[in-house]
Amino acid sequence: MAEDVPRGQTSGLTKSSGTQRRFPLPCSPAIPTMAKEPVRVLVTGAAGQIGYALVPMIARGVMLGADQPVILHMLDIPPAAEALNGVKMELVDAAFPLLKGVVATTDVVEACTGVNIAVMVGGFPRKEGMERKDVMSKNVSIYKSQASALENHAAANCKVLVVANPANTNALILKEFAPSIPEKNISCLTRLDHNRALGQVSERLNVQVSDVKNVIIWGNHSSTQYPDVNHATVKTPAGEKPVRGLVGDDAWLNGEFITTVQQRGAAIIKARKLSSALSAASAACDHIRDWVLGTPEGTWVSMGVYSDGSYNVPAGLIYSFPVTCCAGEWKIVQGLHIDEFSRKKLDLTAQELSEEKELAYSCLS
């Protein structure tokens, strides 16, 4: 595989018995620490706007940690090859200490070879006035063909995050056409919606967003998603308090709050004439970081994962659930009370996902 290691980025490293050791530097601890092996991270659609926001975050350690070296694999299509090369040039110019190599290619096999993490952003974004279903036929066929490249060439146990819309259904198609990738390794991004819900609560209560936790996004990354605050809390000097009690306005929480989060993607498109990018890239980092490094004690996050029938969500859909992560594995949070209002919303978004699944298969036949 052609791989360029940015000049000067291996200084201070030497090979010893197949492992890399760091020379003691003036400010380093007396006992030299073992440098970690680089993790290979694939970003498809890397010349696009999410890609442009995402690759520097990964190279800076936002996704995998400040001590984790990475090798970036960037894929785009031939018309974007020159722009992709420009992104690669900028990565070299940024001299990121953690970045140990860059593979920039339009060859899907080269891009997928040996990757440990795959962030699938490549595809056609929704434009103003388009519904997500309009981008379905273009995108599901991409995910069908990239499924086999990942299945055959990625590292064993590669973790896959699908960002491109329709994210849940693209992830489902990828799963179905890559049968040897364990279903627990395939997910889609609803962390952006989760973060949007945290942001709305924090603005409404005028509290730090980092003090709000355990909102839930149920279902599809679409306008049928259900942002649920029934179990969410805010850290206060007097302990953790339920969001519902602190807000004290059920009409807002059951109405405007939900529609604001559901429609936030469309609102960004209306304002920017482009879909969200920096927040999507940041959420993709949050998603992978928590999956790989674990969620904090007592905190859950939302991930689109393969339904096992929990909460009576039909099995066989990629559906967003509250999950906790530990040792690289996610687990759906069980036993949460679902009231009648919520039940209807969980079912409605499941219904849309079943319809999308049918439509996706009809686009592929």
Ligand X SMILES: NC(=O)c1ccc[n+]([C@@H]2O[C@H](COP(=O)([O-])OP(=O)(O)OC[C@H]3O[C@@H](n4cnc5c(N)ncnc54)[C@H](O)[C@@H]3O)[C@@H](O)[C@H]2O)c1
Ligand Y SMILES: O=C(O)C[C@H](O)C(=O)O
Decide if 258 contacts 230 (C-beta within 8 A): no
Minimum separation from the CB atom of position 275 to ligand X (A): 5
Instruction: Name the residue with the smallest CB distance to ligand X.
Output: 48
Tell me whether residue 225 or residue 233 sits nearer to ligand Y (CB atom).
225
Q: Which is nearer to ligand Y, 10 or 263 (CB)?
A: 263
Site membership for ligand Y, residue 268 (CB under 6 A): yes
| Helix locations, the chain, DSSP H | 49-59, 81-94, 108-112, 136-153, 167-176, 191-205, 243-247, 250-254, 256-262, 264-272, 278-293, 340-364
Q: How many CB atoms lie within 10 A of CB 247?
A: 17
Judged by CB, which is closer to ligand Y: 40, or 221? 221
Distance of CA 316 to the CA centre of its chain: 20
Q: How far is the CB of 82 from ligand X (least distance, A)?
A: 11
Interface residues toward ligand X, by CB under 6 A: 44-45, 47-51, 75-77, 80, 121-123, 125-126, 142, 163-165, 167, 189, 192, 221, 275-277, 280
* 20 CB-near residues (< 8 Å, 6+ apart): 13, 14, 34, 35, 37
Backbone angles phi, psi at 68, to 5 degrees: -110, 105
Q: Is 50 annotated as a binding residue?
A: yes
- Single out the residue of 126, 153, 235, 331 in contact with ligand Y (rule: CB under 6 A): 126
Nearer to ligand Y, 173 or 192 (CB): 192
Q: Interface mask (CB under 6 A) for ligand Y, residues 186-205, using x and -?
A: ------x-------------
Is 164 labeled as ligand-binding? yes
User: H/E element holding 164?
Assistant: none
Quote the tokens at residue 312: 């009576």
Maximum alpha-carbon separation in the chain: 65
Q: Binder to ligand Y among 275, 302, 324, 349 (CB under 6 A)?
A: 275
Residue 230, helix vs strand vs coil: coil
Report, in Å, the least distance between residue 284 CB and ligand Y: 12
Closest CB to ligand X among residues 62, 234: 62
220: contact with ligand Y by CB under 6 A: no
The catalytically annotated residue of 73, 194, 221, 287 is 221
Using CB under 6 A as the binding rule, the residues of this chain from 162 to 181 that contact ligand Y are 165
In whole angstroms, how far apart are CA 199 and each of 111, 204, 261, 298?
A: 35, 9, 9, 19
Q: Is 330 helix (H, G, I), strand (E, B) or coil?
A: strand
Q: Are 283 and 188 in contact (CB under 8 A)?
A: no
Q: Is 134 in the site for ligand Y (CB under 6 A)?
A: no
Known catalytic residue: 221?
Answer: yes
Q: How far is the CB of 169 from ligand X (least distance, A)?
A: 11
Residue 268 contact partner, candidates ligand Y, ligand X, none, CB within 5 to 8 A by sort of partner: ligand Y
Q: Checking phi first, is residue 129 left (phi over 0); if not, alpha (psi -120 to 50) or beta?
A: left
Which window, 151-159, 199-207, 268-276, 300-308, contacts ligand Y (CB under 6 A)?
A: 268-276
Residue 85, C-beta contacts closer than 8 angstroms, at least 6 positions apart: 104
Structure token pair of residue 267: 């609102």
Which residues are near ligand Y by CB under 6 A? 126, 132, 165, 192, 265-266, 268, 275-276
The binding site for substrate comprises 126, 132, 165, 196
Positions marked catalytic: 221
